[in-house]
Chains A and B, each alone.
Chain A
Amino acid sequence: MSLKAFHVVFITASVLLAFGFGWFELSRYQDTRDTVDLWLGCGSSGAGIGLVAYGIYFLKKLKNISYL
């Protein structure tokens, strides 16, 4: 597996973490009403969207490099 393939796996895991953490923090915000939780929830969900966009850009940019 090349660095390109491992990077795709890593970014996929990061996207899942970003959305999962965003959901976790926003659920917590409903109980605590702490603005830190709100910021972390929104920030993490936004980072998840950014990572998806980056993943697409990355795949397009390195399309000539092998996955092996």
Chain B
Amino acid sequence: MEIPYTVKPRPDTGLYNAKLGIWLFLASEVMLFGGLFSAYILLRVGADLWPHGMLSIPIGTFNTFVLIFSSVTIVMSWASLKLGKLADFKLYMALTIACAFGFLGVKSYEYYVKFTHYDLWFKDDATAQKYFVAAYGEKGEADVRKHFVERFHLQNTKATYDPHEVQLVGHIEGNPLCTTLKRLAKEKQDKILFTPDPKFGSHDHPKAIEIPLSDVKRLSAYVPAHSTFFAIYFTITALHGLHVLGGALVLCYFLFTADKWWKKAPEQFANRIEVGGLFWHFVDLVWIFLFPIIYLL
């Protein structure tokens, strides 16, 4: 028995089966991402301090334009099928898939940079001051505090902060991924070689300093456990990344089976590409909202 309305629209809805199905699916996706966006807003308005400038804007901008370009190419691939140009379809679809994997590659690099970047909190004020001076010289404490004020935009708010919370930011020698005090202790390490980030407004890294772990109260890479900001950042962007990956795999399937489908059922194939394109546009639209709230605001 043939399934009805796979090509022609159903008279009462005006839609073919797959289009109705994808819109119902996208409605559930709106609720999923809507819930996460709401969580972001509630966490942010409820927080005393919210960090700024933790993510690279040029990298985020590049990825945004990669996704915008991929939306253009996927529409072109669908339009090519409508015009009966299979070779053009393949070219545009391959470009879309390349953009998808390019986006994921850049995102993975961003994650790697975060997983190897550390904040260090010291056990008391005197110890902290000793290392601030070792890192940045005589006025070290003022430099670290300036960094802290800039990170949390404290010059623009009436929020106060606990001076004990000021931390040293930088990289551990060897760039270990997501290490913790517990893991370092397990590896029987009692000290680390730490390269602090440049002073605020400078690009020159200070010299690495040796820090015994007995002086450190907390050490954390920029992972979800670091802070509320990174918890919500990784939750939303990882879920979005999974959608990009899932979409890219489906688009790969369309590309590699294009010849077979084009011979068997060209109209149904064009409808499948339209449905894939709708999902792809949704994923890109989520990023259009995500980029400004996470990278800029």
Contacts and interface: CB of A to CB of B under 8 A. Distances in A.
A38 interface: no
B284 A10 contact: yes
- What band does the interface of chain A fall in when counting residues whose beta carbon is under 8 Å from B? 20 to 34
Given A54-B72, A58-B75, A13 B285 contact: yes
B278 interface: yes
Question: At the interface, is chain B mostly helix, strand, loop or mixed?
Answer: helix
A3 B292 contact: no
A17 interface: yes
A25 to B, nearest CB: 8
A47 interface: yes
A37 B125 CA distance: 36
Given A3-B281, A10-B284, A21-B61, A65 B72 contact: no
A14 B68 contact: yes
Interface in A1-28: 1-4, 6-7, 9-11, 13-14, 17, 20-21, 24-25
B281 A10 contact: yes
A60 B239 CA distance: 36
B92 interface: no
Contact of B23 (A1, A4, A54, A58): A1
Interface string B1-22: 0000000010000110001000
25 contacts: A2-B19, A2-B274, A3-B274, A3-B277, A3-B278, A6-B278, A6-B282, A7-B277, A10-B281, A10-B284, A10-B288, A11-B71, A14-B68, A14-B288, A17-B288, A17-B291, A17-B292, A21-B61, A21-B296, A40-B58, A40-B61, A54-B72, A65-B79, A65-B82, A68-B14
